[in-house]
Amino acid sequence: MNNRHKEQWENLGACDPYWAVLSNPSKKNGKWDKKTFFETGEKEIGQVFENLRQNNMELQGGTALDFGCGVGRLSRALSRSFEKVVGIDISSSMIAEAKVQHRNYLNIQFIHNTACDLSVISDCSIDFLYSNIVLQHMPPKQQISFIKEFCRVLRPGGVLVFQTPSKHDLTVPVGWVHFLVSNRILNIVRRVKYGRNGVMEVHVLAKQRILGVLNDHGLSVKKVEKYDSSGKGFRSYRYYGVKS
């Protein structure tokens, strides 16, 4: 991970961790109700599981990995369906808050990981891996590195579901802004709008490039759905695959 990326998420986790995960403008400055916040995770995972059923993708219920877990919004939801859940995040402040909020959830383990890989996770040890609104904050090279790691840690027959934006949406003005202006310059605007500790970069990674990486690393892609969790200005997708 580059130092800029680490610093941004350490600051976000320390300053306003719930808004950093779900950046609803009305919830800035600690205004998320925690019960409502965690209920969004239950709803999201429920939708994912329904999509898996509709596409005949079977879960084994062993170990799930929540990549970019933040304060554990999705880890908590996954813990109801898996024997063990591992939540991994780059931000030590996020992990600290996740541990406080889940001290009574005995089947969840939270790990602080600043490495450019998932070496803390053994080969072929994960039954289900899920990630949403996480990869998009990394430059393309880092996204690809972690997608390869997703494939490595999944066991044969394991299921992978993740999201990232594929391209800028040039049908709206904000899409053109993100397309034409670098993240370094946009970060100046973000600091003015959200404060020094409110900077979140967004990076795109082309769908065809992702599909190529998955194919090269033993993942059979079962579904690609339009999933606009990246917000206005981006065309985002959620990918569903099974390891051969």
For the chain, list the domains and their CATH numbers: 3-243 (3.40.50.150)
Q: Which pLDDT value is given to residue 104?
A: 97
DSSP readout, 72-87?
Answer: THHHHHHTTTSSEEEE
* Per-residue pLDDT reduced to its tens digit, 184-202: 888 788 887 877 776 788 9
Q: Which pLDDT value is given to residue 96?
A: 96
Q: Which pLDDT value is given to residue 2?
A: 62
Distance between CA atoms of residues 83 and 86, nearest Å: 10
* Per-residue pLDDT reduced to its tens digit, 34-75: 999 999 999 999 999 999 999 999 998 899 999 999 999 999
